[in-house]
Amino acid sequence: MENLWNDKEAAQYPDDLDLRVYTSRLLGRDKSLVLHGGGNTSVKIRQKNLLGEEQDILYVKGSGWDLETIEEGGFAPVRMAHLLKLAELDTLPDPQMVNELLTHMTRASAPAPSVETILHATLPYKFVDHTHADAVVTITNTADGEARIREIYGNSVVVIPYVMPGFDLARLCAQKFAAESTADTVGMVLLNHGIFSFGDSAKLAYDRMIELVSKAEQYLAQQGAWEIPAAAAVPSAPALRGEIAALRREVSAAAGFPVIVSSHRDAKSLAFARRDDIATVSQQGPATPDHVIRTKRLPQLGRDVAGYVASYKSYFEAQAPHAKTPLTILDPAPRLILDPQLGLCSVGRSVKDAAIISEIYDHTIDIITRATTLGGFRALPAKDIFDVEYWDLEQAKLRKGGKAPAFAGEVALVTGAGSGIGKACVDSLLARGAAVIGLDIDPQITTLYSRPDFLGICCDITDETAIVAALEAGVSAFGGLDMLILNAGIFPGGCRIESLASSEWRKVMNVNLDANLVLMRECHPLLKAAPNSGRVVIIGSKNVPAPGPGAASYSAAKAGLNQLARVAALEWGGDGIRINSLHPNAVFDTAIWTEEVLASRAKHYGLTVEEYKTNNVLKVEVRSRDVAELAAEMCGPLFAKTTASQVPVDGGNERVI
Ligand code: ZN
């Protein structure tokens, strides 16, 4: 394990809290130490209050902050004197402990202090670092884990048996530390949980963490338990989009809301999912209680969602009666699925949630694989896991968790997504919480947005093979398709019929009509499998009801598409899929309308540019965003009972009216 401390960098952080930020970020950068909000750090600082009185303050990581990106404001300042008094209590229920922490901070706007705050306060060192290091967790999660830890560390660490995080753990650590620490003690190992290091400087505490974890890594290497096998060669995958979408539909039904399913079929995930002993090694339990909130107790093996739900319910029924307060079941859907073909599938209400789960499990694979080589991975008993999963503090967080966005867990595909109306549709759908697959012939689509819920694919929609490949990629990333926005089209220069070349006609038909047939045909099985029914929105044109001279191929293609949509509405209604069209006109904030083109068209009609842009009944300018917002609404509940509608977005056009 690499020590990332850099003297030059560190010199930029003059005081103790700055240095606390610096080494916290160093810890956060190594994902084998902490993942997504895991781990916590603190520093004890003596400072004067408003009245000039000296007091000791514990600055401890606040909840909602990630060590990798934490700032000074991410540390909650809590009065040490009160924390040390709390540590003397015999018992303190966790909700009450949280209240005590919140009411003894010196900054009202600070985040809630970590539930491990009292533990940090009781350790008599200025800097305290805590991680859930993979290597340490690997070793403690074996049958003789404790003995191995003592063999590796001797008396340089105090060993703490597993107790759920909260007041009881803080109290136990304080007692054990007082009784067992020696002059050589530099850390503390919490079995099935993680490791603490400490010191009087930020560097010392950090160096000790790296040294301690490196020792665990070296031990694993010496035992021949370090290498992780990867599937030798991943055969080129057959078409899996139908199977993934079917699985997502079932998982969504079990959860009670649409979910994202991301299928990871890299060599490592496939090798793990295809292990001969997968039914044993994957079904022991999570690597640390910290993971259970997100990943659930166990992954689902194979595609039997109903079987998983039944076993989750019986686990709940076996454990719930022992709880102090009556509990209701959380949604029983799996968060992780291991399948020999689909690899590692992570499930989340958002792409971000699913990505966090797959990253956690990527580390879990390392931990399980190494512990198995070491002699057998052993997780905590189901009861301990249940206590964390249904912890009153976590339950309170879940109850508080705000309303999900309109399209949470849903997936949309937009064609011509790189600019103009298509790009505006991407924005409107992302803003409503959908994951979006954007297709465009312009390669810049791949870098349009760098965010996990957008997948930009360079695709010529007149190429059927390219469309199929794009759907495979999109469904592998997000799990299926709920909304299809057919927007891509070309607008050729004006040309009267008598001089219209056949090649020009065919080209326009090919892009504006034929490609949409292929897209609709290929997307139909996916839309049919959408958990909340599929929706299609056609970006039509004013030219459908009111064609103009010189636009024969464009108008005929759009009229053909309009008729195709009407037939689809009839044919697909039985599958719950609704198809609605909107007919925009004179949308000028798109790539084809440069300043010069606008000026010359306006001049042609004897109008100013402003008059030309608002040349409609309402005298309003129609923008891409107006069209996109209507397209998004057509996918939402407002249009739940409408199909085959055609709505103009043109400011009112006398020829259409
Ligand atoms: Zn912890």
170 and 205 in a single domain? The answer is yes
Residue 128 counted as domain residue: yes
Name the one residue in this structure whose structure tokens are 């007041």: 167
Name the one residue in this structure whose structure tokens are 């004179």: 586
CA-closest candidate to residue 457, choices 475, 445, 471:
445
What pLDDT digit, counting tens, does each position of 91-148 carry?
999 889 999 999 999 999 999 999 999 999 999 999 999 999 999 999 999 989 999 9
Residue type, 150: R
607 and 568 in a single domain? The answer is no
Tell me: pLDDT of 555 over 70: yes
Tell me: pLDDT of 543 over 70: yes
The answer to whether 624 and 654 are in contact (CB under 8 A) is no
The answer to whether 372 and 226 are in contact (CB under 8 A) is no
- Span from the CA of 132 to the centroid of ligand 1 (angstroms): 6
Band of pLDDT at residue 398, cut at 50, 70 and 90? low
Question: Mean pLDDT score of the chain, rounded to an integer?
Answer: 93
Residue 38 counted as domain residue: yes
- Span from the CA of 638 to the centroid of ligand 1 (angstroms): 46
Band of pLDDT at residue 67, cut at 50, 70 and 90? very high
Residue 207 counted as domain residue: yes
Residue type, 165: P
- The mean pLDDT value for 422-440 works out to 98
* Residue 264 DSSP SS3: strand
d(CA 650, CA 24): 55
Query: Where among 351, 367, 397 does a domain terminate?
Result: 397
599 and 462 in a single domain? The answer is no
391 and 440 in a single domain? The answer is no
The residues placing their C-beta within 5 Å of ligand 1, an ion, are: 194
Question: In angstroms, how far is CA 60 from the centroid of its own chain?
Answer: 26
**Residue 120 CB burial class (10 angstroms; 0-12, 13-18, ≥19):** buried
* Residue 33 DSSP SS3: coil
Q: What pLDDT, on the 0 to 100 scale, is given for residue 322?
A: 82
Count structural domains, the chain. Answer: 4
350 and 473 in a single domain? The answer is no
**Mode of pairing for the β-strands spanning 187-190 and 194-199:** antiparallel
- Span from the CA of 379 to the centroid of ligand 1 (angstroms): 16
Q: Which residues contact 528 (CB under 8 A, 6 or more apart)?
A: 534, 572, 575, 576, 577
Tell me: pLDDT of 233 over 70: no
- The mean pLDDT value for 363-388 works out to 90
- Span from the CA of 554 to the centroid of ligand 1 (angstroms): 63
* Residue 460 lies in domain: 411-587+623-649
Residue 615 counted as domain residue: yes
Q: What pLDDT, on the 0 to 100 scale, is given for residue 60?
A: 98
Q: What pLDDT, on the 0 to 100 scale, is given for residue 155?
A: 92
Q: What pLDDT, on the 0 to 100 scale, is given for residue 204?
A: 97
- Span from the CA of 12 to the centroid of ligand 1 (angstroms): 29
**Residue 414 CB burial class (10 angstroms; 0-12, 13-18, ≥19):** buried
**R_g (Cα) of the chain, nearest Å:** 30
Residue 96 counted as domain residue: yes
The answer to whether 487 and 533 are in contact (CB under 8 A) is no
Structure tokens at 621: 């300018």
Query: Where among 365, 397, 429 does a domain terminate?
Result: 397
CA-closest candidate to residue 217, choices 23, 32, 26:
32
Residue 229 counted as domain residue: no
Band of pLDDT at residue 396, cut at 50, 70 and 90? low
- Span from the CA of 279 to the centroid of ligand 1 (angstroms): 28
What pLDDT digit, counting tens, does each position of 195-205 carry?
999 999 999 99
Tell me: pLDDT of 368 over 70: yes
- CATH assignment at residue 579: 3.40.50.720
The answer to whether 321 and 421 are in contact (CB under 8 A) is no
What pLDDT digit, counting tens, does each position of 498-519 carry?
999 999 999 999 999 999 999 9
- The mean pLDDT value for 595-607 works out to 88
Tell me: pLDDT of 401 over 80: no
- The mean pLDDT value for 451-477 works out to 97
Tell me: pLDDT of 234 over 70: no
389 and 422 in a single domain? The answer is no
d(CA 423, CA 631): 12
Band of pLDDT at residue 22, cut at 50, 70 and 90? very high
- Any idea which residues carry the catalytic annotation? 554
What DSSP assignment string belongs to 466-510? HHHHHHHHHHHHHS--SEEEE-----PPPB-GGG--HHHHHHHHI
Band of pLDDT at residue 299, cut at 50, 70 and 90? very high
* Residue 134 DSSP SS3: helix
The answer to whether 518 and 474 are in contact (CB under 8 A) is no
Which DSSP symbol is given to 360? H
- Span from the CA of 76 to the centroid of ligand 1 (angstroms): 17
Band of pLDDT at residue 352, cut at 50, 70 and 90? very high
206-210: list long-range contacts, CB under 8 Å, 24+ apart.
Answer: 206/3, 206/5, 206/23, 206/26, 206/27, 206/127, 206/129, 207/3, 207/5, 208/129, 209/27, 209/33, 209/129, 209/131, 209/133, 210/1, 210/2, 210/3
430-434: list long-range contacts, CB under 8 Å, 24+ apart.
Answer: 430/454, 431/632, 432/405, 432/406, 432/407, 432/632, 432/636, 433/350, 433/404, 433/405, 433/406, 433/407, 433/408, 433/409, 434/407, 434/410, 434/482, 434/483
Band of pLDDT at residue 235, cut at 50, 70 and 90? low
Tell me: pLDDT of 316 over 70: yes
Q: What pLDDT, on the 0 to 100 scale, is given for residue 400?
A: 62
- If phi over 0 gives left and psi between -120 and 50 gives alpha, with beta otherwise, what is residue 576? left
Band of pLDDT at residue 330, cut at 50, 70 and 90? confident
315-324, 446-455, 586-595 — most confident range: 446-455
187 and 253 in a single domain? The answer is no
Residue type, 449: Y
Q: What pLDDT, on the 0 to 100 scale, is given for residue 231?
A: 66
Tell me: pLDDT of 381 over 90: no
479 and 561 in a single domain? The answer is yes
- CATH assignment at residue 159: 3.40.225.10
Query: Where among 335, 367, 397 does a domain terminate?
Result: 397
Termini Cα distance of the chain: 71
Residue 204 counted as domain residue: yes
- Span from the CA of 166 to the centroid of ligand 1 (angstroms): 10
- The mean pLDDT value for 275-283 works out to 94
